Amino acid sequence: MMGNFGYGSCGGFGWIGMILGLVIFIAVIVGFVFLVIWAVRRMSGNSVHPQSPNSTNLTAKDIAKARYAKGEISREEYQQLLSDIGL
């Protein structure tokens, strides 16, 4: 009885306290796992969006087309880019 101070072994909440503590512990572990997965994906450079500029499946012509379509470059700049890349 020394050290319990009359509250029992689970801080006075009994089985509910043990279950709640277990649920919180599992939630922390799952959160940590998701955090590690997110950090690894972020550092590896893998993009969730396949059409993003960081994607490796876009060609130089595709990027030039997208920039021209958005109005970021003029027609002359677009044609110069195509001639520079050999198209």
Q: What is the pLDDT of residues 36-75, one digit of tens each?
A: 999 998 888 755 555 555 556 788 889 999 999 999 999 9
Please state, for a pLDDT cut of 70, what percent of the chain lies above it: 72
Copy the structure tokens of residue 20: 């709640």
How confident is the model at residue 31, as a pLDDT? Answer: 97
Rounded CA-CA distance 78/65 in Å is 8
82's CB contacts (< 8 A; 6+ apart) are 61, 64
Q: Evaluate whether 60 touches 80 at the Cβ level (below 8 Å).
A: no
Alpha-carbon torsion 60, 63, 67, 69, what sign?
Answer: positive
Copy the structure tokens of residue 3: 């050290």
